[in-house]
Structure 1
Amino acid sequence: MNEPSAMGMRRFGRINWLGMKTLARREMQRFLSIWMQTIMAPLVTAGLFLAIFSIAIGPGRGEVMGFSYLHFIAPGILTMTVIQNAFANTSSSLLVSKVQGNIVDTLMPPLSAGEIVAGYIAGGVGRGLFVALPIGLVMMPVLGITVQSPLLALLFITLGAALMAGLGLLAAIFANKFDQVAAISNFVITPLSFLSGTFYSVEAVPPVMAHLLHWNPIFYLIDGVRYGVLGISDRSPLLGLAILSTVTAIIIVWCWHWVRRGYRLKP
């Protein structure tokens, strides 16, 4: 007969796979239950972006790096939509728990800080990929785009979703009310998204702005996805992959540190 475990002892190995899987499933069920808002709305928004630029530029006009302007911006619009949804998923989930006072339901179970962070980020990445799939399946055939390196594009999209899910987690931990997260989204995330080469090439901007672009990790994300889809990029995809991986790792470690300390999470 097995002896009972001592109080406080982990009885499920070094990693609580079941608890982490349950948290990730909960985060995914959150956005799947309101799929009209979390999946269909981004698809409509991406379509509106393309329609507006198509009308503004006109058919057959505008060429960037050897591609039509609509083809050039399509990977950027897809990526921008993915990262905005990944950020929204983690930031809204954790902040709602804090505001409603039920964050204890996440902190009390036998989950380590790393397992909690992994569960939340898995939900954010899942929402990002669920958004990317329908946008890609609709946008690419309509525009007549053949994806050059699907696996590389998927790798960049996944890394970008993980990065923004981590930033969303940091924002929700730091914030105590929805206005604070909205301010971070409006004054940090949105400018970084729009000033990242989504709608233009580095060659088209002044040297000072081009220099600033290289300090924006989202620039390397969108540049990498564009390379995976169209086969063109402003910078080396390997450099972008290295920078993006490093920044994502730093953000995830930062999240782990704050959750482990209980920073702004524990009363």
Structure 2
Amino acid sequence: MSPDQIGFLTLLKKEVKRFWSVLGQTVTAPVITTVLYLLVFAQAMKDRSSAYDGISYTQFLLPGLVMMAVIQNAFANTSSSIVQSKIMGNLVFLQMAPLGPFEWFGAYLLAALLRVTLVAMAMLAVTLPFVSLPIQAPWALLAVFLLSGSSLAVIGLIAGIVAEKFDHIAAFTNFFIVPLSFLSGVFYSVHALPTLWYQASHLNPFFYMIDGFRYGFFGQADAPIALSLAWCAGFFVLSSAVCLRMLITGYKLKK
């Protein structure tokens, strides 16, 4: 193998070990949070009809909760890793290694995807005995999952590069990731919103991630699946272009 390939695999292994060593925090905690959301909202809204024919509100809710966890954990994995390396001072060792920008990009991205895959599988394993979910469009489901997880992993990389300390990541999470997640149709159909908020929801990329993921299970969604896939792909391409530009130029990475 070439030095770049060895460097890529080493960084990937390091990133996987990093989240694996605290599996209770990185995988178990999101599962517990999702189960709590499901219990509370399923009980509180049990008499509410779903937006889709033949689908209960609990069934409608679960895919949104899973994708919300994917979004938040993909972002957290890459952003926390970069900032942690900055604070601990070991980022310089990565810069000295035989790693190009594409190796950095690929290793962080794949590690985040592995983490969110474990999170999603654990959530579904825990909840599926109580909530049945059909899978009507498996390829659309997989495509939306990969594009969404990848996009937020890249956004996490960008945030980690820009941030100087964990407070900056917390601000990015609190003012961008969490609000857009909660306003993306996780707990409701956007068709129930007033006209202004309905139109605003269609400018939120997270809406298309959650809506497209939901389509994979039910074959029904608030937006056409082609539009959701286009938004997810476009968001990934745009964020990747920005991130790779930062890595190539060494923006806020080189002292």
Could you tell me the TM-score, scaled by structure 1's length? 0.91
Deviation at 1:214, TM superposition (A): 1.1
Q: Give the letter for the 2:49 counterpart.
A: G
Moved more, 122-131 or 135-144: 135-144
The answer to whether the Cα contact below 8 Å between 1:148 and 1:228 also exists between their aligned partners in 2 is yes
Q: Distance in 2 between matches of 1:164 and 1:239?
A: 19
Q: Distance in 2 between matches of 1:78 and 1:209?
A: 23
**2:123 equivalent to 1:135:** yes
Q: Distance in 1 between matches of 2:224 and 2:49?
A: 24
Q: Describe the SS at the equivalent of 1:143.
A: coil
Superposed CA deviations along residues 151-179 of structure 1, whole A, max 9, x for unmatched, are 32122111111011011111111110111
Q: Give the letter for the 1:218 counterpart.
A: F
Deviation at 1:205, TM superposition (A): 0.5
The answer to whether the Cα contact below 8 Å between 1:129 and 1:158 also exists between their aligned partners in 2 is no
Partner of residue 63, structure 1 = 50
Trace 1:193-208 onto structure 2 (pairs within 5 A): 193-208=181-196
Q: Percent identity?
A: 40
Q: Distance in 1 between matches of 2:13 and 2:142?
A: 21
The answer to whether the Cα contact below 8 Å between 1:20 and 1:111 also exists between their aligned partners in 2 is yes
Structure with the greater alpha carbon radius of gyration: 1
Deviation at 1:219, TM superposition (A): 0.7
Structure 1 residues not aligned, in runs of 5+: 1-10
Match of 1:120 among 98, 108, 111: 108
Ranges of 4+ aligned residues in structure 1 off by more than 3 Å: none
Two-structure CA RMSD over aligned residues (Å): 1.5
Deviation at 1:230, TM superposition (A): 1.6
Q: Distance in 2 between matches of 1:63 and 1:74?
A: 12
**2:7 equivalent to 1:12:** no
Q: Distance in 2 between matches of 1:36 and 1:247?
A: 30
Superposed CA deviations along residues 196-227 of structure 1, whole A, max 9, x for unmatched, are 11111121001111111111111111011000
Deviation at 1:65, TM superposition (A): 2.0
Superposed CA deviations along residues 119-165 of structure 1, whole A, max 9, x for unmatched, are 11111111111101111222233212222223321221111110110
Structure 2 residues not aligned, in runs of 5+: none
Q: Distance in 2 between matches of 1:27 and 1:155?
A: 24
Q: Give the letter for the 2:204 counterpart.
A: N
Trace 1:21-32 onto structure 2 (pairs within 5 A): 21-32=9-20
Q: Distance in 2 between matches of 1:155 and 1:129?
A: 13
Match of 1:35 among 18, 23, 31: 23
Q: Give the letter for the 1:79 counterpart.
A: M
Q: Describe the SS at the equivalent of 2:129.
A: helix
Match of 1:90 among 78, 101, 118: 78
Distance 1:150 1:139, change over 3 A: farther
Match of 2:160 among 158, 167, 172: 172
Partner of residue 135, structure 2 = 147
Corresponding residue pairs, total = 254
Trace 1:154-169 onto structure 2 (pairs within 5 A): 154-169=142-157
Partner of residue 237, structure 2 = 249
Superposed CA deviations along residues 5-29 of structure 1, whole A, max 9, x for unmatched, are xxxxxx938xx22221221121111
Could you tell me the TM-score, scaled by structure 2's length? 0.95
Partner of residue 222, structure 1 = 210
Q: Distance in 1 between matches of 2:118 and 2:66?
A: 12
Q: Distance in 2 between matches of 1:24 and 1:229?
A: 31
Q: Give the letter for the 1:202 counterpart.
A: V
Q: Describe the SS at the equivalent of 1:233.
A: coil
